[in-house]
Amino acid sequence: MKNALALLGGEKNIQKEFPRYNPIGKEEQMAVASVMESGVLSKYIGAWHEDWCGGPKVKEFENECKKFFKVRHAVTVNSWTSGLVAAIGAIGIEPGDEVIVTPWTMSASATAILHWNAIPVFADIDMQTYNLNPESIRKNITDQTKAIMVADIFGLSADMDKINSIAKEFDLKVISDAAQAPGAIYKNSLAGTLADIGGFSLNYHKHIHTGEGGILVTNDDDYANRLRLIRNHAEVVVADKNFGGLENMIGHNFRLGEIESAIGVEQLKKLNDLVSSRQALAERLTDGLSSLEGLVTPYIPSDQTSTYYVYPLQIDPKKISVDKDLICKALNAEGFVIANRYQNIHLLPIYQEKIAYGSNGFPWTSDICKRDVKYEKGICPNAEKLNDELYMGFGLCNFDWSFDDIDLIIGTFKKVWNNLSELETYAKQTK
């Protein structure tokens, strides 16, 4: 039964537990110990003061980020969700303004828009790259549209040239949610740096992490000021700071501490190597899987690189009759965990019921919402088809895989593919 599928009573192909991906080493431990010994775990003051921008490690981390990403300003925050909220507020979004966003992303990309009582409008994605389709962006622009929230999904930058061209044509702001793509290249530039405001996640399952955290980057002095104000109690600072323009100057505590920043300094030094290691794993996977009929490996444009936060795959139903849900079930039974869905956030209850603040449908039912924005199934056919019928994938940042592990995974896929006819029979019997 060795060659029989585990789902059908055979022996599992993967008998081992893969070690968790962990980029934290002695350098980070020493940096944390140094902060602990100093006793200064945070040095922020929520008032206009020399410490309003944080302590020495926060400032060091931000300076290193400026150099690495080649930007004028880097602003750290306690999570990338906080970063998205700050970015939307910093560009001057008004209640009722519409912001175009992808449905194929983590929910915070859209809820950051709702945070400011603005209206998320979901545009469709490209079937190959999983990123926002520029033509769908164009079709969703109205008189109320003020910005585009671009997510660089799975570590691959969106088509920023086309998106920025559309933004310029319609006088829109662009925010680059490059949470999954630190270190990715788009036409000789770093992902996340080609928008009005961009940034990256430092969540524990990203390429580099501080446990939680985020980095905002911009070349605009005014936006940088606004980001810092929103990060740290803007409403009590604007007067003493003599900052003009009170719109969205409701401050928060989005501050990253000294310990996390010290870790971030050391993690940033490793980013290029860590990304390269994921790319090498992905290339080996693609080489090993590309011969499997009906399995579509990741598409990477020739002038871009991906950080491969997720390794995405698709089933080609013209070449394979077994549906992807059953294939994922078979792979999982073999000891390899793979997801059969990603996200269609426009179908979440918050948008289906149009209830966010209170119970009366605010902001959609209020006077600030100028039209009936649609969220029903069918508005993003590419994203929906991928989720329902075609897509499956797994995180390359989940485990510390070796090349031998990758070969074992390739062998597991090949075992399933060698038994597709048995899976087809199984599907008919279990209907």
Q: Is residue 420 part of a domain?
A: no
| pLDDT tens by residue, 376-417 | 999 999 999 999 999 999 999 999 999 999 999 999 999 999
Tokens of 46: 């929520």
CATH of the domain at 252: 3.40.640.10
> How many domains does the chain divide into?
1
Q: Is residue 279 part of a domain?
A: no
- pLDDT class of 241 with cuts at 50, 70, 90: confident
Q: Is residue 145 part of a domain?
A: yes
Q: Is residue 178 part of a domain?
A: yes
**pLDDT given for residue 2 in this prediction:** 59
pTM for this entry: 0.96
Q: Is residue 328 part of a domain?
A: no
Q: Is residue 112 part of a domain?
A: yes
Q: Is residue 189 part of a domain?
A: yes
Of 94-108, 201-215, 233-247, give the lowest mean pLDDT range: 233-247
Q: Is residue 190 part of a domain?
A: yes
How far is residue 55 from each of residues 49, 61, 66, 264, measured CA to CA in Å? 12, 10, 17, 14
Instruction: Domain of residue 227: give its range.
Output: 26-268
How far is residue 51 from each of residues 58, 82, 255, measured CA to CA in Å? 10, 20, 12
Q: Calculate helix-pair angle for 80-90, 221-231, nearest 10 degrees.
A: 130
**Sign of the C-alpha dihedral, residues 233, 354, 357, 246?**
positive
